[in-house]
Amino acid sequence: MTLQSRNLSLAYGKRVVVEGLDLDVPEGRVTAIVGPNGCGKSTALRGLARLLRPTAGQVLLDGTDIHSLPTRTVARRVGLLPQSPIVPEGITVAELVARGRHPHHGLLRQWTRDDDRIVAESLERTHTTDLAGRPVDQLSGGQRQRVWIAMALAQRTGLLLLDEPTSFLDIAHQVEVLDLVRDLSVEDGTTVVMVLHDLPLAARYADHLIAMRDGAIVAEGRPRDVVTADTVCDVFGITCRVRWEHAGDVSVIPLGRHLPTHGQESPEEPPHARVRVAGRP
């Protein structure tokens, strides 16, 4: 399943937020979108998922203009987890995950045993089976995020768009969610596009990195080619030191205005100032 955008422009009313976006989502891979707040990451994702009608250009799903496809057909192929979805009051984990089956139902096609099985599998996949009967509003952030992903999995789409699945999570829960994303890609061949804020984590978990600024792509490619001091400066407007290690880990140290900088050239730096992330893939 391929997802592409061609010269895509998206706007809210007169306000153009994304302009001339050309994007080829690599199939079966994990793509991460990074960029400053308000640069249009969520908007781009909403455009890709057919939630917004483009003001120019188009989104192609398997080569077909996504707006020429019925809503339901798209929903069976592309799943989207919005940045802040609403948890209905008192809903349990199993009930929430079951709502992911919505696009597969209609007036004549009601709930079946197949749906039960798919919900159970989605819970299992996200290690939330034990939580099935718990109210979602009583879960920890990490558990809750896994439950949302389970709901998206129950939709059974080959393509998942996740908007900031790790925001507001502590580092352990971020790794937990990202490991799950990696599993989905490696084991199930799911194509994932996610918006992340943490550059080292994005570099470590994504096969493909897209850096956005002001509604356009600034850099795109393998994480090693994208995460450079120049690009970070270009995208976020900050000076920082970027160090790549042979294992594919990267540390990004913002220099800021107040702390002693050791100078950009100096390769020596105190070990405690490094941001390093250990985790799997």
Partner 1 sequence: MTRTRLPTGAVVLLGVAALAVAACLSLAIGSRSLSPGAVLDGLTALVTGEASGSSADGILSARLDRTLIGLVVGLAVALSGAAMQGLTRNPLADPGILGVNSGAALAVVLGLQFAGISTVGGYLWLALLGGLVTAVLVYAVASVSQGDQSLTMVLTGAAVTAGVTSVIAGVLVSNQGALQSFRFWQVGSVAGRDAVIIADVLPLLVVSLLIVGLSGPVLNAAALGEDLERALGQRVHLARFVVAVGAVGLAASAVALAGPIAFVGLVVPHVVRLVTGPDYRRILPGSALVGPVLILLTDTLGRVVTPPSEIQVGIMTAVLGAPVLILLIRRAVLR
Ligand X SMILES: Nc1ncnc2c1ncn2[C@@H]1O[C@H](COP(=O)(O)OP(=O)(O)O)[C@@H](O)[C@H]1O
Q: Which residues bind ligand X (CB under 6 A)?
A: 12, 15, 17, 35, 37-43
Instruction: State the nearest-atom distance from the C-beta of 17 to ligand X, in Å.
Output: 4
Instruction: State the nearest-atom distance from the C-beta of 67 to partner 1, in Å.
Output: 13
Specify the stretch interacting with Mg ion by CB under 5 A; choose among 3-11, 35-43, 177-185, 263-271: 35-43
Specify the stretch interacting with partner 1 by CB under 8 A; choose among 5-13, 88-96, 175-183, 196-204: 88-96
CB 21 within 8 A of CB 57: yes
- Residue number, 25 or 123, with CB nearest to ligand X: 25
Q: Strand 56-61 vs strand 78-81: parallel, antiparallel, or unpaired?
A: unpaired
Query: Which helix H or strand E contains 183, and what residues bound it?
Result: helix 171-188
Query: Which helix H or strand E contains 8, and what residues bound it?
Result: strand 3-12
Q: How far apart are CA 182 and CA 189, in angstroms?
A: 10
Kindly tell me which residue out of 23, 34, 39, 46 binds partner 1, with binding defined by CB under 8 A.
Answer: 46
User: How far, in Å, are 89, 142, 147, 208 from residue 175 at the CA level?
Assistant: 28, 10, 15, 18
Residues 74, 82, 48: CA angle, nearest 5 degrees:
40
Residue 123, token pair as written in the block: 């819970």
Q: How far apart are CA 83 and CA 46, in angstroms?
A: 10
User: Any idea which residue has 């483009």 for tokens?
Assistant: 54
43 binds, among Mg ion, ligand X, partner 1, none (CB under 5 to 8 A by kind): ligand X
Residues 71-90, one symbol each (x = binds Mg ion by CB under 5 A, - = not), give: ------------x-------
- Residue number, 81 or 227, with CB nearest to Mg ion: 81
Which residues sit at the interface with Mg ion, rule CB under 5 A? 42, 83
Which residues sit at the interface with partner 1, rule CB under 8 A? 46, 49-51, 71-76, 78-82, 84-86, 88-92, 95, 99-100, 102-103, 105, 107, 132-135, 138, 155
